[in-house]
Amino acid sequence: MREAPRPADLLDWYDHNARKMPWRIGPADRAAGQMPDPYRIWLSEVMLQQTTVAAVRDYFERFVTRWPTVTDLANAADADVMGEWAGLGYYARARNLLKCARVVASDHRGVFPKTYDGLIALPGIGPYTAAAISSIAYDLPETVVDGNVERVMARVFDIHTPLPSAKTELTDLAKTVTPNARAGDYAQAIMDLGATICTPKNPACGLCPWRRACLGRANGTHVELPKKTPKQPKPTRYGIAYVVQRVDGAMLLETRPETGLLGGMLGWPTTDWGDDPRDDAPIKAEWKSMNSEVRHTFTHFHLRLNVKTAYVPMERMPSRGGFVEAGDFRPSDLPTVMRKVFDLVQSGLKR
């Protein structure tokens, strides 16, 4: 008879194999009474959405060094936070990060609510993040379900319903396994299991603490799980990016609208992105077109940007955007696609 997946087996494995992360309190420290900082857990979880642990580490360290508490972050200038976020992608997360920090600072005296309902009421916090903070920071028995947990549940219970249709089913199954004791360690343990053992390809089943409980392994179907509904091919959109330098070295940049892609981020003026963009130069100038184009992929489409450059005199005024003095311009503050434009222009100047 197949064993049921036991939280105790997973927790015993986690006690010896927990990944070390800058926002995490290890199982031994937690057992000694040390609890995680909800601010650090919240910040890490927001950063980790759609992003890998390896990509997040340096960003997290910079954020908590510059803004050690949620109140510090709440008092930060929007442009500073967006600049530090540049490169992480999904920029709506950064805007919601600031909104949430300011609500916690103003309405909760700088302390995150200690209940799931209180957390999910905050800006930018959805069911997953609320459950993660509740369990990891406050040790409450909330069920945390990310892509790793969905994969583990699909394999352990041999669920063949394709994602995303299977999300509710897999969440319900995850709830049946979530323990009341050591909920925070369990939440991190099951995510670690998916990230290091029950991986998408070549899972290390021989090392898995739930190998005897895994119905997918018993039936020989685990490697093909979870099943996914085939994705539609991404369309391609086109645009023009304008890189303007004034004779004193200042660069013409604009802050993108708060809503939409790259919302609130600093970047080069561009046309709209579509099938046939119309030239929409932000300033009167003699334009030169680059011989190469910038290509970038967003979640729902591919983007191809033609790049035009120009030098203008001091008295020339733009129709949109503003000049940033050479000493204040930091390419690192630009989102990835805008840095690609800058790099292309720089490479053209060196030829």
Provide the CATH number for the domain around residue 322.
3.90.79.10
Q: Is the pLDDT of residue 350 over 70?
A: no
Residue 183 lies in a domain: yes
121-168 per-position pLDDT tens digit: 999 999 999 999 999 999 999 999 999 999 999 999 999 999 999 999
User: 211: alpha, beta or left, given left = phi > 0 and alpha = psi -120 to 50?
Assistant: alpha
Query: If you search the block for the tokens 């040390």, which residue do you land on?
Result: 34
The CATH number for 63's domain is 1.10.340.30
Whole domain around residue 295: which residue ranges? 236-350
Structure token digits, residue 69: 């508490």
Residue 316 lies in a domain: yes
Query: If you search the block for the tokens 């030169």, which residue do you land on?
Result: 288
What DSSP letter does each residue of 194-218 carry, written as one string? HHHTS-SSS--GGG-TTGGG-HHHH
| Among 200, 224, 248, residue at a domain's last position | 224
Whether 71 and 39 have beta carbons less than 8 Å apart is answered as no
218-253 per-position pLDDT tens digit: 999 999 999 999 988 999 999 999 999 999 999 999
113-124 per-position pLDDT tens digit: 999 999 999 999
d(CA 7, CA 152): 13
d(CA 40, CA 93): 15
| Among 179, 201, 224, residue at a domain's last position | 224
Same domain, 134 and 261: no
Same domain, 186 and 241: no
Whether 71 and 105 have beta carbons less than 8 Å apart is answered as yes
Same domain, 197 and 317: no
Residue 131 lies in a domain: yes
| Amino acid 1: pLDDT | 52
Same domain, 23 and 97: yes
Question: Given the DSSP bridges, would you call strands 236-246 and 302-312 parallel, antiparallel or unpaired?
Answer: parallel
Same domain, 46 and 131: yes
| Amino acid 59: pLDDT | 95
Same domain, 240 and 210: no
| Amino acid 291: pLDDT | 87
Same domain, 164 and 283: no
Same domain, 174 and 34: yes
Residue 231 lies in a domain: no
Same domain, 210 and 270: no
Highest-pLDDT range among 10-14, 52-56, 260-264: 10-14
56-86 per-position pLDDT tens digit: 999 999 999 999 999 999 999 998 998 899 8
Same domain, 205 and 281: no
How many domains are there within the chain? 2
Same domain, 197 and 56: yes
For residue 308, which of 248, 276, 268, 275 has the smallest C-alpha distance?
A: 268
| Annotation says 45 is catalytic | yes
Same domain, 74 and 214: yes
Question: pTM here?
Answer: 0.82
Packing angle of the helix pair 183-196, 147-156 (nearest 10 deg): 80
| Among 202, 224, 246, residue at a domain's last position | 224
| Amino acid 63: pLDDT | 97
Query: 3, 45, 169, 315: which is the annotated catalytic residue?
Result: 45
User: 321: alpha, beta or left, given left = phi > 0 and alpha = psi -120 to 50?
Assistant: left
Residue 2 lies in a domain: no
Helices (H), the chain: 7-17, 27-31, 38-48, 53-66, 70-74, 78-85, 92-107, 116-120, 127-132, 138, 147-156, 167-177, 183-196, 215-219, 336-350
